[in-house]
Chain A
Amino acid sequence: DTEVTQTPKHLVMGMTNKKSLKCEQHMGHRAMYWYKQKAKKPPELMFVYSYEKLSINESVPSRFSPECPNSSLLNLHLHALQPEDSALYLCASSQVETRKAKNIQYFGAGTRLSVL
């Protein structure tokens, strides 16, 4: 079983709703990530938090708002989404070490989001 837990597993929301996706890891990792994955496509990086600070924002629309309350938790706040935002949202975590370290990203099971 993965040590990265994502809730909820499924979410259906209207375009005017506000919802949040949650991710928690218990591996002592200091980097956490949000990915978006459309059907039959590879995951695409959205945000990276390193030591609870936002390090990468891959030009994601402002209707997606990440939050990292502490090193174990990562949230993704959703507001006024569009139907094209329907996708699998994956959270991952890793160590933050030297360039020669493995720094393997471990993923959660994902949240399947449908925007109506």
Chain B
Amino acid sequence: AQKITQTQPGMFVQEKEAVTLDCTYDTSDQSYGLFWYKQPSSGEMIFLIYQGSYDEQNATEGRYSLNFQKARKSANLVISASQLGDSAMYFCAMREVSGGYQKVTFGIGTKLQVIP
């Protein structure tokens, strides 16, 4: 069984500063995918970034980057130049593929608040 751990229930960051949201995972699969999603108060889950277990380079998407340390089983999200609109819940998630379909397990989330 796979498991995702997010140890920061809440984080504050000053506008324009960078922030790191922590995520560790546990799986016995050799092939897996790691995701970060953003969920504003409106409820929509917005895909941010993906890292495959076989990817040698850390993923980047605009202001988002994923610090992937496979040996430590960590997949931290780094948001650079924080904006007020970044205030939201952030979920780390891991994909398990079995029998032709995928199941995604989410961590408990980190609530990020950006301070003006």
Given contacts A106-B47, A109-B42, contact A42 B91 (CB under 8 A): yes
- Complex Cα gap A102–B97 (Å): 11
Contact of B106 among A43, A94, A96, A112 (CB under 8 A): A43
Say yes or no: A42-B102 contact (C-beta < 8 A), given A107-B44, A112-B43. Answer: no
- Residues of the A chain whose Cβ atoms lie less than 8 Å from the Cβ of B100: 50, 55, 96
B45 touches A45 (CB 8 A): no
Contacts of A112 in B (CB 8 A): 43
A110 sits at the interface (CB 8 A): yes
B45 contacts A41, C-beta separation under 8 Å: no
Rounded to whole angstroms, the CA-CA distance of A82 and B84 in the bound complex is 38
Chain A residue numbers with a CB within 8 Å of B42 are 109
Binary CB contact string for chain A from 91 to 116 against chain B (1 if under 8 A, 0 otherwise):
01010100110111111111010000
Within the assembled complex, what's the spacing in Å between the Cα atoms of A109 and B42? Answer: 8
CB interface residues, A 77-96, toward B, < 8 Å: 88, 90, 92, 94, 96
Interface of B is mostly: strand
Tell me which of A41, A43, A56, A92 has the highest count of chain B C-beta atoms within 10 A of its own C-beta. Answer: A43
CA distance A38 to B51 in the complex (A): 27
| Structural contact, B54 and A42, CB atoms closer than 8 A | no
A31 at the interface (CB under 8 A from B): yes
Asked if A41 and B31 sit within 8 Å, CB to CB, the answer is no
The CB with the most chain A CB atoms within 10 A, among B50, B54, B102, B103, is that of B102
Q: Considering only CB atoms, which chain B residue lies closest to A98 in the complex? A: B97
> Measured between alpha carbons, how far is A16 from B103 in the docked complex, in Å?
32
A15 to B69, CA, bound (A): 48
The one of A2, A31, A42, A102 that contacts B101, using a Cβ cutoff of 8 Å: A31
Chain B interface residues toward A at CB < 8 A: 31, 33, 35, 37, 42-47, 50, 52, 54, 91, 95, 97, 99-104, 106-109
Lowest 5 A-B CB distances belong to which pairs?
Answer: A42-B106, A107-B45, A109-B44, A110-B43, A50-B101
12 cross-chain CB contacts under 8 A: A2-B46, A43-B45, A55-B101, A56-B103, A88-B43, A94-B102, A103-B33, A103-B95, A107-B44, A107-B45, A107-B46, A109-B42
